[in-house]
Amino acid sequence: MLRAYLAFAKKSFLQKSAYRFDHFMGIFNTILRIFIFWEIYQALYGGRAEVDGITMSMVTTNFILSMGLSVVFKVNDFYLPDKLQDGSIATELLLPVSFHGRMLASNLGSSLFQLVFHFVPALVVSVLIMGMEAPVSAPMFILFLVSTLFGYFVLWSISFLMQMMSFWMLNVWAVMTIKDVFVNVLSGSMIPLWFMPNWMQGVLKFTPFSYIYFTPVQIYLGQLSIKEIFIRFAMQAFWIFVLLMAGAFFWKKGQKKIVVQGG
Amino acid sequence: MSFIDVEQVSKSFRINKRSAGVAGMLMNLVAPKYEKKQAVKDISFQIEKGEMVGFIGPNGAGKSTTIKMLSGILYPDSGKISVNGYIPYKQRKEYVARIGVVFGQKSQLQWDLPVIDSFELLKAIYSIKEDVYKKNLNRFVDMLDMGGFVNQPVRQLSLGQRMRADIVAALLHSPEIVFFDEPTIGVDVLGKETIREFIRELNAQDQVTMLFTTHDMQDIEKTCNRLIIIDKGSKMYDGSLQSIREKYGTERRLIVELNQEEELEGIEGVTIDNLENRKKSLSFDNNQVNINDLMNNLLQKYSIRDLTVSEPEIESIIQKMYNGEV
């Protein structure tokens, strides 16, 4: 059974490598984005050592990690919508595998490729140009990796739930764009959440967004106590569970509404 | 209980009705109108193991919808479906591992990869054992004469080649039941013949149960013994090809070619039409007029060069059924 999902993961891994020029431009784009935000914040800092207790080097670390990881975390938001729109959902459902498992396996395959061939080179170049904080300790680094994995599934689950909307709307482009704005602004990958007003930070604790990139970054920088870390893990797990359950609920409802487009 | 059991199944879709033009677009934006379309209406039938059944009807009759419900893709609104003890739409994952489906209009193959790579992927997905895979692959590639193109990317194949590759893709895991949805659509005469021959052999040798939809009556005549005709979502006929001829095809046509130009006298129950070159066409109902008497009668009265009797084409019988004439 697992063999089937491995095959899907392998396929999407290989597909990622099909366009080489596009891939190199993608790496360049990631480095450029990090660099632009780095420059903006350097100007904002104006040579000060720290702002609100946050050093420039911590800000740099936030951008390199969250923007770098966003390349690995990237979900194909149109996996299900495209299949519903062109009718290929019919042939998909003929395969003796769980459709959700197939969705995840495909995503994991391309994420693994992105991790090795996009994130790592972009990270090395960015660190050479801009520098970055070192991990505080080995155990913290391991906890950081765990929360990163959780963060991955939080983002994947958000997309999973949103994709289910395509059973009711044939075109979900607008919905996905709005989702992206929320994720970009509220996850700290554009504005580090430290600089958000206090009330905003309070509100964000009750949304899934801060648990995607910001929690791993905070753990990496050693900003959280062990107790706080485990509370964050619990929150990440909570959101994954809730979002997946909601997605599965809409899948069940939506499946009855499937109309195979084009004959 | 039958192998495939469909009981009073109905399925309807909601269709957005939009009038033309900018005004229609604006109206649709503010107050969209929906119309319910009944795709399948109270259909029931049973199919036994090893049967080969043709499923025909005009475009939009509900054939594909029925096939999609039988293969677990669509949920019926009401009614019951059971296939070999499975409820397709409820036990989809376990069920689809045992069936094969070929959609003439949708390919299961990976567009960019060689055909053989798609087959390898399916081998992994269905967890097909190496020896079974090898055996099936070699056998099917041989039967469908595919040796020349299994290593070519799918996008470079002709429609006929792609269809054959799709058929093999649906059969690699040795399914017990195969649904074909228009497997010969757009394929040339030679290609169609290869596919029909293959389907016949598979049914005869492996006792695979098959249901297939088509527009091409030749497909049915050359492969199926049993025929289900549906129109506007309802079943109109279910039985053998032979009995459809006996029941509805009682019209016969006798073409008479005379040695010299002359008019035929009227005969009761027979419609006479003049064709070109001293040929006459005599149409009559097989049950009302005895063909032997008619021919004897003609041979005594006239000097006849040639006589031919023609049965109606199955196609024209079905045409009449669609039009509600029989």
Token pair 């097909």 is found at B128
List of chain B residues whose C-beta atoms are within 8 Å of the C-beta of residue A8 = 125
**Average pLDDT, stretch A105-126?**
96
List of chain B residues whose C-beta atoms are within 8 Å of the C-beta of residue A95 = 96, 125
- What are the residues whose beta carbons fall under 8 Å from the beta carbon of B233, sequence distance 6 or more? B10, B38, B39, B40, B41, B43, B61, B62
Closest chain A CA to residue B59: A263
Determine how many CB atoms are found less than 10 A away from the CB of residue A170.
12
Render pLDDT for B59-68 as a digit per residue (tens, 0 to 9): 888 888 999 9
**Average pLDDT, stretch A228-233?**
96
Beta strands in chain B (DSSP E): 4-17, 33-47, 52-56, 78-83, 99-103, 177-181, 209-214, 226-231, 234-240, 251-258, 270-274, 279-285, 304-310
Determine how many CB atoms are found less than 10 A away from the CB of residue B252.
17
Distance (Å) from the C-alpha of residue A92 to the closest C-alpha of chain B? 8
Asked if the Cβ–Cβ distance from A6 to B124 is below 8 Å, we say yes
Note whether ipTM > 0.90 here: no
- Over 70: is that where the pLDDT of A263 sits? no
**Residue pair B239/B226 in contact by the 8 Å Cβ criterion:** yes
Q: How confident is the model at residue A223 (pLDDT cuts 50, 70, 90)?
A: very high
Task: Please give the helix or strand (H or E) that residue A251 lies within, else none.
Answer: helix A226-255
List of chain B residues whose C-beta atoms are within 8 Å of the C-beta of residue A167 = none
Any chain B CB within 8 A of the CB of A17?
Answer: no
> Which pairs from B316-322 meet CB under 8 Å and 24+ separation?
B317/B244, B317/B245, B317/B248, B317/B249, B318/B56, B318/B217, B318/B229, B320/B248, B321/B229, B321/B231, B321/B236, B321/B237, B321/B248, B322/B58, B322/B231
Asked if the Cβ–Cβ distance from B92 to A259 is below 8 Å, we say no
List of chain B residues whose C-beta atoms are within 8 Å of the C-beta of residue A90 = 68, 73, 103, 106
List of chain B residues whose C-beta atoms are within 8 Å of the C-beta of residue A93 = 72-73, 92, 96
Structure tokens at A219: 């753990």
Render pLDDT for B116-129 as a digit per residue (tens, 0 to 9): 999 999 999 999 99
Can you give the pLDDT at residue B9? Answer: 94
Can you give the pLDDT at residue B325? Answer: 63
Residues in B lying within 8 Å of A, measured between beta carbons: 13, 64, 68, 71-75, 92-94, 96-97, 101, 103, 105-108, 110, 112, 121, 124-127
Q: How far is CA A48 from the centre of its chain?
A: 31
Mean of the per-residue pLDDT values for chain A? 93
Can you give the pLDDT at residue B316? Answer: 74
Closest CA to B66 of B52, B58, B55, B82: B55
Between A95, A255, A262, which is nearest B96 by CB? Answer: A95
Closest CA to B75 of B91, B53, B99: B91
Distance (Å) from the C-alpha of residue B36 to the closest C-alpha of chain A? 13
A157 by Cβ neighbours in 10 Å (0-12 / 13-18 / 19+) ranks as buried
Can you give the pLDDT at residue B15? Answer: 78
Higher pLDDT, A16 or A75: A75
Q: pTM higher than 0.90, yes or no?
A: no
Q: How confident is the model at residue A262 (pLDDT cuts 50, 70, 90)?
A: low
Can you give the pLDDT at residue B40? Answer: 92
Helical H segments across A74-134, by residue range? 79-86, 89-93, 99-114, 120-130
Asked if the Cβ–Cβ distance from A11 to B121 is below 8 Å, we say yes
Any chain B CB within 8 A of the CB of A6?
Answer: yes
What is the C-alpha to C-alpha distance for residues B217 and B226, in angstroms, rounded to an integer?
Answer: 13
Can you give the pLDDT at residue A42? Answer: 94
Can you give the pLDDT at residue B112? Answer: 82
Can you give the pLDDT at residue A261? Answer: 63
**Residue pair B79/B9 in contact by the 8 Å Cβ criterion:** yes
Distance (Å) from the C-alpha of residue B167 to the closest C-alpha of chain A? 13
What is the C-alpha to C-alpha distance for residues A86 and A261, in angstroms, rounded to an integer?
Answer: 6
- What are the residues whose beta carbons fall under 8 Å from the beta carbon of A146, sequence distance 6 or more? A233
Among residues of chain A, what percentage have pLDDT more than 70?
A: 99
What residue type is assigned to position B9 of the chain? V
Distance (Å) from the C-alpha of residue A39 to the closest C-alpha of chain B? 42
Between B13, B112, B125, which is nearest A259 by CB? Answer: B13
Below-70 pLDDT ranges, chain B = 314, 325-326
Render pLDDT for A159-200 as a digit per residue (tens, 0 to 9): 999 999 999 887 899 999 999 999 999 998 888 999 999 999
Render pLDDT for A61-110 as a digit per residue (tens, 0 to 9): 999 999 999 999 999 999 999 999 888 899 999 999 999 999 999 999 99
Can you give the pLDDT at residue A163? Answer: 96
